[in-house]
Amino acid sequence: MAEPVRVRRLTDQEGQKLQQIVRRGSTSSVRYRRAMMLLASAGGNRAPVIAQLVQADEDTVRDVIHRFNEAGLVCLDPRWAGGRPRLLSRDDEDFVVQTATTRPTKLGQPFTRWSIRKLAAYLWKVHGRVIRIGRETLRCLLARRGVTFQRTKTWKESPDLERDAKLDRIEEVLERFPDRVFAFDEFGPLGIRPTAGSCWAEQGRPERHPATYHRTHGVRYFHGCYSVGDDTLWGVNRRKKGAVNTLAALKTIRADCPDGAPIYVILDNLSAHKGADIRRWAKKNKVSLCFTPTYASWANPIEAHFGPLRQFTVANSNHRNHTAQTRALHAYLRWRNANARHRDVLAAERRERARIRSEMRIRWGGRPLAAAV
């Protein structure tokens, strides 16, 4: 049987960028859906699950994943075709783009960034290669190749010394025990205020929401749990994060598998997730905690499912209070779990996992599978 299609291991920059696109949802629909595909694949979701999540064809999901493995985040932008013949050769265009994305100081120029005028003048007199291009043509070329004028940003490299080991552990449990793996994370803060979003409306007449100046309801945090094997999402709103609320969520996960066999929970590397009480309870109840590396929460499978949760329950909403907000969240979760996947596909995957477990049990001499981990 062929290996399932999956994205390669993400770098910290790629994971943070994809997580930012999915959580904010402020980009084009094409980039948003493709980022969700990649983030869901990085979290261990298979192509059928991702296709249902983004309402796309499975082959489209696989094509995006293959394209990312070959070219990286460039795959987020569609490759449009057509138009009049190029006046510049492909090599000339590549040289222009490479020059525009290089700091001028590295090319001996006395400024820290290019302007269109300075870049065009430099290309006319660059040593060994002369490219005659006007300012407007240069602006259109850069826009067509996805090079825009934007503010510089900072990013965080994971300082976790056990980064690779933690990612290996997460990948291992997702590959070997997908029906025994769960994910947990907090989503928020959730305030009571009109929130902008998107909707279908008559042209030029969008929905209007009132502005707020006094916010007296405080905030809440959605504590979410996700079953990788069953593709089921559930959770509850809490006033704050903390070890007590984390332990309560872990107990609901353990209750979802009352057979007493070991289960694996993927969660972020926060102090509220790994207190002494939590570790004692987890050891006693055969719950293996798999922490994501620092600044690498993109490796948590639940992250990809928080994007739709925000877009369809928080964005374009005006809840009266936290009670109404919580009811809306739970109503969406009930609808999502009822329409998440086709039951025939789920049953087929369960039979396949049972066959794999049986083969592994024979391979390991009849010992429980958890003993081999």
Give yes or no for a contact between 98 and 114, defined as CB atoms under 8 angstroms apart.
Answer: no
For residue 159, give the nearest of 269, 17, 294 by alpha carbon: 294
Q: What are phi and psi of 104, to 5 degrees?
A: -55, -30
| Structure confidence at residue 281 (pLDDT) | 92
* 290 DSSP β-pair partners: 266
**pLDDT confidence of residue 264:** 93
pLDDT number for residue 149: 86
Looking at residue 354, what is its pLDDT? 58
Which of 222, 217, 226 has the alpha carbon at shortest distance from 305?
226
d(CA 14, CA 39): 10
Query: What would the pLDDT profile of 112-163 be if each residue is shown by its tens digit?
Result: 888 888 998 888 887 677 788 888 888 888 898 888 888 887 777 788 888 8
- 263-267 sheet: strands from edge to edge: 232-238, 219-227, 181-191, 263-267, 287-291
Neighbours of 48 (CB within 10 A): 18
Q: Can you list the residues of the chain whose pLDDT is less than 50?
A: 361-373
Say what the pLDDT of residue 348 is.
63
The per-residue pLDDT for 356 is 56
Please report, as a single letter, which amino acid is at residue 254. Answer: R
Residue 105 and residue 118 in contact, taking contact as beta carbons nearer than 8 Å: no
pLDDT number for residue 328: 87
What pLDDT was estimated at residue 340?
67
How many angstroms separate the CA atoms of 315 and 199, rounded? 10
**44 to 3, 41, 57: CA distances (angstroms):** 13, 5, 18
The predicted pLDDT at position 13 comes to 86
Reported as a single tens digit per residue, the pLDDT across 282-295 is 899 999 999 999 88
